[in-house]
Structure 1
Amino acid sequence: MNKGVIIALSSIGIAQGLKIPIHYYRKGEWRPEKLFETGGMPSSHSAGVSSLAAYIALNRGTPTIDFALSVVFGLIVMYDAQGIRRQTGELTLKVNDLDELIDKIHENDPVPYVEKAPDPLKEVLGHKPGEVLGGALLGALLGFAGYRLSKKW
């Protein structure tokens, strides 16, 4: 398999794994399910794309089209993680609050109203800028480490 792909996927897995102890340190809650959740510190998407860019830069050099593509697509992924996905998560908070408000209104409404309540929407979808930066720095470090280790394969 392609070493760059192995390094990027490993970086994503490591970043996801780090979410568990970081969440425990910050909140005092041990939540292994964080391994499979989006959002939080560090951004695994940022770690994956930045480790790939770092590996390509060290392996092929920065003037290559490979590096240019990895940087451009990496920046798009990081922008999306902290911009669009974060805004979607914040909008979801408001929708869930609105759903609770509607339930309270119907409790006081004498007219019988029967509707199956939908499951609450997932509220943490994206990242804060610091989480994206943390993932990018972790990824660059893992890309460098992966490059060094790949020389021994």
Structure 2
Amino acid sequence: MALLQNTPILLSIFSILFAQFIKVPIHLIATKKLDWSLMTSTGGMPSSHSAAVTSLATAVGFETGMDSPIFAVAAMFAAIVMYDATGVRWQAGQHAVIINRIRNELTVFFNEVKHWPEKNEDEKIKELKTLLGHKPSEVFMGALTGILVSVLFYNLF
């Protein structure tokens, strides 16, 4: 199967998996708390999205040359993904923090005022996910991770 012989995509997938895995020990060192859920979450250090797209662009550069049109496409794709991770997705996470706070405060207020006897206690309000985007440092470290994965691969194999 040709897809399994496509080095750029394999390195990109490896970079995602590596970046997701490394989030757990980084979080443990930073907070002294072990959180395995980080392996499947968005956000955090390093950015697996950035690792994937920079690994892909770097591998395409090695395969086709840095002056090829396909490298230009991969590099621009990487830049847009990383810009989005620090812009729109980061802001969406910040909005979720505030919306969750408002919802919690309103719930307390209405429970105190009306006691809501008809409200079922099993009905929990699901909070919005707040870890959506990345800080610039997380994107930078993700980008560096992806580039290093591809550079190491092409220089060792």
Same fold (TM over 0.5): yes
- Aligned counterpart for 2:101 among listed residues 84, 93, 97: 97
Match of 1:125 in 2: 132
Q: Which runs of 4+ in 1 moved over 4 A?
A: none
Match of 2:154 in 1: 147
- The question of 1:53 aligning with 2:50 is answered no
Compute the displacement of 1:117 (Å): 3.9
Match of 1:137 in 2: 144
Classify 1:117/1:32 alpha carbon distance in 2 versus 1 (closer, same or farther; 3 Å): closer
TM-score, length-normalised on structure 2?
Answer: 0.90
- Alpha-carbon contact 1:106-1:113 (below 8 Å) kept: no
Give the Cα separation in 2 of the matches to 1:112 and 1:137. Answer: 52
Question: Which residues of 2 match residues 30-45 of structure 1 at below 5 A?
Answer: 30-45=34-49
Structure 2 residue runs without a partner (length 5+): none
Q: Which one-letter code corresponds to 1:140 in the other structure? A: I
Cα deviation digits, residues 65-103 of structure 1 (max 9, x gap):
110010011111101111111100000001100111111
Match of 2:74 in 1: 70
Compute the displacement of 1:111 (Å): 6.1
Structure 1 residue runs without a partner (length 5+): none
Give the Cα separation in 2 of the matches to 1:108 and 1:32. Answer: 37
Report the aligned-residue RMSD. Answer: 1.4
- Aligned counterpart for 2:7 among listed residues 3, 16, 19: 3
Question: Which residues of 2 match residues 105-116 of structure 1 at below 5 A?
Answer: 105-110=109-114, 112=116, 114-115=118-119, 116=123
TM-score, length-normalised on structure 1?
Answer: 0.92
Give the Cα separation in 2 of the matches to 1:112 and 1:11. Answer: 50
Give the Cα separation in 2 of the matches to 1:111 and 1:15. Answer: 46
